[in-house]
Amino acid sequence: MLIAGSAGVVLPVVTMPLLASSSPLVVRTRRIADPGDLVALLPAGAEHPVTWLREGDGFVGWGRAAAIHTTGTSRFADAEAWWRDLVDSAVVRAEVSLPGSGLVAVGSFAFSAASPAGGILHVPSTVVGRRDGVSWVTTVSAPAHLPGEVQLRRSAPPSAPVVTGSHDGALTGEQWTEAVAAAVSRIQRGDLDKVVMARDIVIDTGTAIDPRHLLGRLAAAYDNTWTYSVDGLIGATPEMLLRREKGLVTSRILAGTIRRTGDDEHDLALAGSLARSSKDLEEHEYAVRSVADALRPHCSSMNVPESPFVLHLPNVMHLATDVAGVLHEDVSSLDLAASLHPSAAVCGTPTLSARDVIAELEQMDRGRYAGPVGWIDADGDGEWGIALRCGIIESSSRIRLFAGCGIVAGSEPSAELAESEAKLLPMRHALGE
């Protein structure tokens, strides 16, 4: 694959280890006393900060013991093969055996195989985690560089960025509304059933963007979502593509949205109308079917509820379905993410037609927005969310935010624009806008 470099030079893009040692990794997990707020432990200016948090549990990490950058259609498979090799040779000593302890890699993958963003799988050199009241610290290094004891320190609170401007990305709001109208016409004439149309906006700041500030704000305000950061991609997603834990796979599928008003009584009435909206139920059904169909070949039994529930978030409410299955084969969480991506919650139905419409009408590279983001452990267990409600830090003072909406025959373009604005709120608020 070839991409244009910034000076217009054509550069070959290849899958390559960013940092790999020829000697095996040495991994130590020690149980520690509860360290409190995990985000506050990320050192100021830490290299490669990573985060995966929900309701106070999860982990933060920093430093890089190993990493691989992959591209194209094999971006998942190449990362998986590299991970297997790393795991096979690693020497692990762990006092805790909870998901996320021991050797873990954190990753994020582009929505499209054509995106130069490709995929990254990264092994932090320090991880601090907590789950169900048990806390740990993991260190990872090459044998020649065995780490000393990690001193955990609470950093001084990070400063808030000062937003100096915000502008449309690939399309203006009006152009995007026209693109949505074009998508609706194609659906109405029978070209496809559903497509998810996304847009981007760019936010500039006068001071450097400190990821810790955004992470702290997201984790506090959206604590029932998964707050994540991997390689400059930061967000708080309510959608779990899949969790694999000890032979069980679960997925939280979202599609169908209504904005909240801030008035609890009114929001309750809106939740009722969302649960009865035939347009939203149709949009939701495509998403559930896409995930259930992709999971079925890997499962000996599955539970797919017949009707969705309404998930309440501070900015919006979604139709949500939790699917569960018993795996009948040894397929890793990353392999599962590869087979489930892209679900109709971010692409559409049929998948290939929707993918082509997205490439034609959105006129932007989604990068790692709407791709799988999460982590995998040495057993192949892990959690992969869909990178939604997020931004990519493009420079110390610029971040690009993304939001998308499922479009079906009954969609109203201006209502979709308003819905995309509501989906941008978590990141806008985190930035202090």
271 binds ligand ISC (CB under 6 A): no
Interacting span for ligand ISC (CB under 6 A) from 24-32, 139-147, 250-258, 300-308: 250-258
171 binds ligand ISC (CB under 6 A): no
By C-beta, is 405 or 430 nearer to ligand ISC? 405
Q: Between residue 13 and residue 52, which ones bind ligand ISC under the rule CB under 6 A? A: none
By C-beta, is 87 or 358 nearer to ligand ISC? 358
Structure tokens at 199: 């847009």
Distance of CA 394 to the CA centre of its chain: 17
Tell me the Ramachandran region of residue 208: left when phi exceeds 0, alpha when psi lies from -120 to 50, beta otherwise: beta
254 binds ligand ISC (CB under 6 A): yes
For residue 386, what are the β-bridge partners?
372
Q: Between residue 194 and residue 213, which ones bind ligand ISC under the rule CB under 6 A? A: 196, 198
- Cα separation of 86 and 12, whole Å? 26
First-to-last alpha carbon distance for the chain, in angstroms, is: 39
Interacting span for ligand ISC (CB under 6 A) from 80-88, 89-97, 132-140, 248-256: 248-256
- Cα separation of 233 and 386, whole Å? 12
408 binds ligand ISC (CB under 6 A): no
By C-beta, is 213 or 389 nearer to ligand ISC? 389
- Per-residue DSSP letters for 127-189? EEEEETTEEEEEEEE-GGG--------PPPPPPPP-EEEEEE-SS-HHHHHHHHHHHHHHHHT
218 binds ligand ISC (CB under 6 A): no
Q: Based on C-alpha coordinates, what's the Rg of the chain? A: 21
Closest contact distance (angstroms) between CB of 358 and ligand ISC is: 11
User: In this chain, which of 255, 275, 338, 340 binds ligand ISC, going by CB under 6 A?
Assistant: 255
391 binds ligand ISC (CB under 6 A): no
Closest contact distance (angstroms) between CB of 393 and ligand ISC is: 18
Type of residue at 40: A
User: In this chain, which of 101, 108, 125, 257 binds ligand ISC, going by CB under 6 A?
Assistant: 257
Q: Between residue 277 and residue 336, which ones bind ligand ISC under the rule CB under 6 A? A: 318
Torsional sign, CA 413, 199, 58, 345: positive
Closest contact distance (angstroms) between CB of 287 and ligand ISC is: 6
Under DSSP, the state recorded for 301 is E
- Cα separation of 233 and 256, whole Å? 25
Under DSSP, the state recorded for 40 is G
Strand-pair category, 316-327 with 299-303? antiparallel
Interacting span for ligand ISC (CB under 6 A) from 3-11, 79-87, 178-186, 400-408: 400-408
Exposed/middle/buried for 261, CB within 10 Å: 0-12, 13-18, 19+?
A: exposed
Q: Where are the alpha helices (DSSP H) in 11-118?
A: 75-89
- Per-residue DSSP letters for 158-174? PPPP-EEEEEE-SS-HH
- Cα separation of 320 and 47, whole Å? 36
Phi and psi (nearest 5°) for 326? -100, 120
Closest contact distance (angstroms) between CB of 204 and ligand ISC is: 22
427 binds ligand ISC (CB under 6 A): no
Active site residues: 194, 239
- CB count within 10 Å of CB 422 equals 17
373 binds ligand ISC (CB under 6 A): no
- Cα separation of 25 and 231, whole Å? 21
User: In this chain, which of 123, 388, 393, 425 binds ligand ISC, going by CB under 6 A?
Assistant: 388
Q: Verify cis geometry, omega within 30 degrees of 0, for the bond prior to 350.
A: yes
User: In this chain, which of 389, 391, 400, 426 binds ligand ISC, going by CB under 6 A?
Assistant: 389
Closest contact distance (angstroms) between CB of 155 and ligand ISC is: 30
By C-beta, is 244 or 318 nearer to ligand ISC? 318
Phi and psi (nearest 5°) for 93? -125, 115
By C-beta, is 382 or 385 nearer to ligand ISC? 385
User: In this chain, which of 27, 117, 179, 346 binds ligand ISC, going by CB under 6 A?
Assistant: 346
**Contact by Cβ (8 Å): 413, 179:** no
Closest contact distance (angstroms) between CB of 250 and ligand ISC is: 17
239 binds ligand ISC (CB under 6 A): yes
Closest contact distance (angstroms) between CB of 385 and ligand ISC is: 11
By C-beta, is 71 or 353 nearer to ligand ISC? 353
Where does this chain bind ligand ISC (CB under 6 A)? 196, 198, 239, 254-257, 318, 345-346, 388-389, 403-406, 423
